[in-house]
Amino acid sequence: MPIAQKIAQFIDRSSWIRAMFEAGAKLKAEKGAENVYDFSLGNPNLEPPEAFYEVIGRLAANRTPGLHAYMPNAGFPAVRAKVADHLTKIHGVKFSADEVIMTVGAGGALNVTLKALVDPGANVVVPTPYFVEYDFYLDNHGGVVKRVPTRADFGLDVAAIAAAVDDQTCAVLINNPNNPSGAVYPEDQIQALGQALTEVSQKRGRPVYLISDEPYRQLVYDGATVASVFAAYPHSLVVTSFSKNLSLPGERIGYVAAHPAIADKGQLMAGMNLANRILGFVNAPAMMQLAVAELLDKVADVAQYAKKRRLICDVLTDAGFEFSEPKGAFYVFPKSPIADDVAFVRAAQEENLLLVPGSGFMGPGYFRIAYCCADETIIRSAPAFKRVRARI
Ligand SMILES: Cc1ncc(COP(=O)(O)O)c(C=O)c1O
């Protein structure tokens, strides 16, 4: 019995990731892992902050009955109340526990949100380049991505986003700070986006939601800050996780928060709540909910990522690559020296450099470097970047 045609096609479409992974594993086996410069995966190389180990130690010893039982699909009410207080502090908008649903990472939060918003045939407007899973997530719920290019510096083209909203558009989805570009959208762009979506919503007599995917919110450099969509637009939602800021991607914990003034909020929250259940998540992992509720102000050592960012930017500059200096997350998205980014990434592999082609992020002509790796890897990769630049 064959598997479903669609997933078979998706396996083919994402096969470059597998191909890269396999090529990387082969290279490491042949040359020794220390001689391969692996910039392919966004897996944080920093360990969680010490406070995390202290909290889970305490939680592991806690014998309170019901701690590991089923719970409301949205999560522990006390955890959601703490997240709401945290959101109130950072966004200057008053949140309550009713506006927060704990989820299985940001991926879970995105799926819960899209399940609640997307009717078959609906579209979501997304600036390119973007996180490769969005296409698959949208498809899970019968929707499609409507792509809008960003500006040359990867900033938002607000007019183009507004113009792309049509009758089938249920939401605009941005990712700030951005994977793969490392862009952090300046406050004036977020304000302008809120203004433009207010006008579009009024014109069509139905709000278009703004979803901001923010798992890298606390990983910012050079004094950059992530502007609040909640302060800019009432029909907004934030999806996020503790995967990157606390280095906990394997623990699968995050949340979605909806603006208190959002239209039909009761129904939206009920929809997302049910989605958490019927997508099979049921609820976010109990222990991790309790853990992160105590760690909302904590963050991995951003100074270490800042150092890695400086190192990789210097390596790229010395080798003659063209790139916008990233302001957040742990990615940089340089221009490929040749138009065919896949061919460039193959050539880089011959120099033991593992990169990801921009085409995989709907950003052809570029390549992505994930610099969440050892400083040594970055430093020792410098000659390889020079060699591939010189021969291409
Ligand atoms: C932009 C973006 N959104 C969402 C996710 C998914 O995060 P999580 O591991 O919390 O599901 C990632 C993971 O790399 C990401 O880069």
**280-294 average pLDDT score:** 98
* Residue to mutate (ligand 1; options 243, 256, 276; most atoms within 8 A of CB): 243
Q: 330-369, pLDDT tens digit by residue?
A: 999 999 999 999 999 999 999 999 999 999 999 999 999 9
Specify the pLDDT at position 216: 98
Q: What are phi and psi of 219, to 5 degrees?
A: -100, 80
State in Å: Cα 108 to ligand 1 middle: 9
Tell me the domain boundaries of the chain: 5-48+300-391, 63-293
Helix axes 133-140, 105-117, angle to 10 degrees: 40
Tell which residue, 349, 262, 287, 259, has the closest CA to residue 39.
Answer: 349
Per-residue DSSP letter, 69: S
Query: Considering the chain, what is the average pLDDT of its residues?
Result: 96
Cα separation, 179 vs 154, whole angstroms: 11
* Residue 330 contacts residue 300 (beta carbons within 8 Å): no
Specify the pLDDT at position 392: 83
Cα separation, 349 vs 21, whole angstroms: 11
C-alpha 88: how far from chain center: 22
Q: Given the CA of residue 175, which atom of ligand 1 is nearest to it?
A: 1
pTM of the model: 0.97
Contacts of 164 (CB under 8 A, 6+ apart): 125, 146, 148
* Residue to mutate (ligand 1; options 133, 240, 368; most atoms within 8 A of CB): 133
Structure tokens at 4: 């479903």
State in Å: Cα 204 to ligand 1 middle: 32
Please say if the pLDDT value at position 17 is more than 80.
no
Task: Compute the half-sphere exposure of residue 255: CA atoms within 13 Å on the CB side of its CA.
Answer: 28
CB atoms within 10 A of CB 199: 11
**114-124 average pLDDT score:** 97
Atom 2 of ligand 1, residue of closest alpha carbon: 131
Top-level class of domain 5-48+300-391: alpha beta
State in Å: Cα 106 to ligand 1 middle: 5
My answer on whether omega of the bond before 77 falls inside 30° of 0, hence cis, is no
Residue 19: pLDDT band with limits 50, 70, 90: confident
Do the domains 5-48+300-391 and 63-293 sit in the same CATH topology, yes or no?
no
Greatest alpha-carbon span in the chain:
65
Top-level class of domain 63-293: alpha beta
Q: Given the CA of residue 329, which atom of ligand 1 is nearest to it?
A: 16
Please, what is the Cα angle at 141 between 140 and 144, to 5 degrees?
90
Report, in angstroms and rounded to the nearest whole number, the Rg of the chain calculated over CA atoms: 21
Contacts of 109 (CB under 8 A, 6+ apart): 101, 103, 239, 240, 241, 254, 255, 256
State in Å: Cα 241 to ligand 1 middle: 8
Atom 16 of ligand 1, residue of closest alpha carbon: 179
Helices (H) and strands (E) in the chain, counts: 14, 12
Cα separation, 256 vs 113, whole angstroms: 8
Residues with a CB atom less than 6 Å from ligand 1:
42, 105-107, 131, 175, 179, 213, 215, 241, 243, 249, 254
* Residue to mutate (ligand 1; options 241, 246, 279, 289; most atoms within 8 A of CB): 241
Please say if the pLDDT value at position 126 is more than 80.
yes
* Residue 137 contacts residue 111 (beta carbons within 8 Å): yes
- What is the percent of the chain with per-residue pLDDT over 90, rounded to a whole number? 91
What are the beta bridge partners of residue 146?
125
Distances (CA, A) of 224 to 142, 180, 305: 36, 17, 14
In terms of residues, how long is the chain? 392
* Residue 356 contacts residue 308 (beta carbons within 8 Å): no
Atom 7 of ligand 1, residue of closest alpha carbon: 106
* Residue 328 contacts residue 184 (beta carbons within 8 Å): yes
